[in-house]
Amino acid sequence: MTLKRILGAMALLLTPTIAFAHPGHGDNGLMAGISHPIGGLDHLLAMIAVGLWAAQQKGAARWALPCTFVGTMLIGGLLGLEGLNLPALESGIAASVLALGLAVALAVRPPLSLAVAATALFALFHGVAHGLELPEMSSPWAYAAGFVVATAALHGLGYAVVRVLPQAAAPLVRLAGAASAATGIWLLAS
């Protein structure tokens, strides 16, 4: 897939967001769900990092990490909708930004079971946060569909960046991971 096609696909995915950018649409759970992962720096960085990290892997990890994140995040979202609140929720999300950024920066390739377990833990924190932040009067199912679609698109964006760039650009990807890790440290300190 060429960079032009990837950017075109991303533009199509963001078109509904642009269409709902002006007032007068009433409550829309889907749009609230889409905007939540994109609008928060912590969520945005972690979800792109999952895609970047997956693309740095070999074999089954390339699809297992994003799929694990999306699936576990959805479960966490449903738990959050039911009112479950994890202790140190914001710290867990900030730690995920730090850890995923480091994983990308160092191009870590742990055993698949360890990578999946870490990804699932991080996704649980993000999902619970999404579920707890359901806007008043939003459809929970449309909201969940929105944050799942946005998350998958962000994973895809991160993955595509690594796969489309020439191998010579790998240091830039690792630098992006380091910047994400630094942001995670800042978020933890805040």
**Residue 10 corresponds to which tokens in the numbers above?**
């991303």
Q: Which residue has the tokens 């060429």?
A: 2
- DSSP assignment of the chain equals --HHHHHHHHHHHHHHHHHTSSS-S---HHHHHHHHHHH-HHHHHHHHHHHHHHHHS-TTHHHHHHHHHHHHHHHHHHHHHTT---TTHHHHHHHHHHHHHHHHHTT----HHHHHHHHHHHHHHHHHHHHHTPPTT--HHHHHHHHHHHHHHHHHHHHHHHHHS-GGGHHHHHHHHHHHHHHHHHHHH-
Q: What is the mean pLDDT of the chain?
A: 86
Per-residue pLDDT at 91 exceeds 60:
yes
Per-residue pLDDT at 92 exceeds 80:
yes
pLDDT band of residue 36 (cuts 50, 70, 90) is: confident
* pTM score over 0.95: no
Q: Which residue has the tokens 């032009």?
A: 4
Closest CA to 49 of 138, 115, 142, 135: 115
Angstrom distance (rounded) from CA 35 to CA 11: 15
pLDDT band of residue 62 (cuts 50, 70, 90) is: very high
pLDDT band of residue 20 (cuts 50, 70, 90) is: very low
Q: Which residues are CB-contacts of 25 (< 8 A; sequence separation ≥ 6)?
A: 31
